[in-house]
Amino acid sequence: MANDFVKKLTEANFEQDVLKSDKPVLVDFWASWCGPCRMVSPLIDQLAEEFDGRAVVGKVNVDEEGPLAIRYNVMTIPTVIIFKNGEVLDQVSGAYPKAHFEEMLNKAL
């Protein structure tokens, strides 16, 4: 991932970086072969930079981290989940405009 603001989330760091975060966390479940994921990815990258310091933005590659996708019932990708205080606050599946994800994050702040 080229973006320094986006955390690569794995089973190893998920609890620490997402569930124990003191800030809201946007998690993008994606895969490299998924067309809509490729459309959403740059938007997520922009949000990571814009919300830096206020929220955490991370990505889970479902091909590499299958158990995480299963744990959060991710059936279609992209799926974006907002976590706050270790709980799922909001969730959408599919490609949405950046403003939609922005609104989700703002509600969590």
Told to judge if 53 belongs to the known catalytic residues of this protein, a careful annotator would answer no
Tokens of 109: 């702040």
The active-site residue, picked from 6, 37, 60, 82, is 37
Bond prior to 36 in cis (omega within 30° of 0): no
The active-site residue, picked from 34, 43, 62, 82, is 34
Beta-sheet strands, E only, within 3-109: 6-8, 25-30, 56-61, 79-84, 87-93
CA–CA gap between residue 89 and residue 55 (Å, rounded): 14
Told to judge if 34 belongs to the known catalytic residues of this protein, a careful annotator would answer yes
Sign of CA dihedral 82, 6, 28, 39: positive
Question: Catalytic amino acids?
Answer: 34, 37
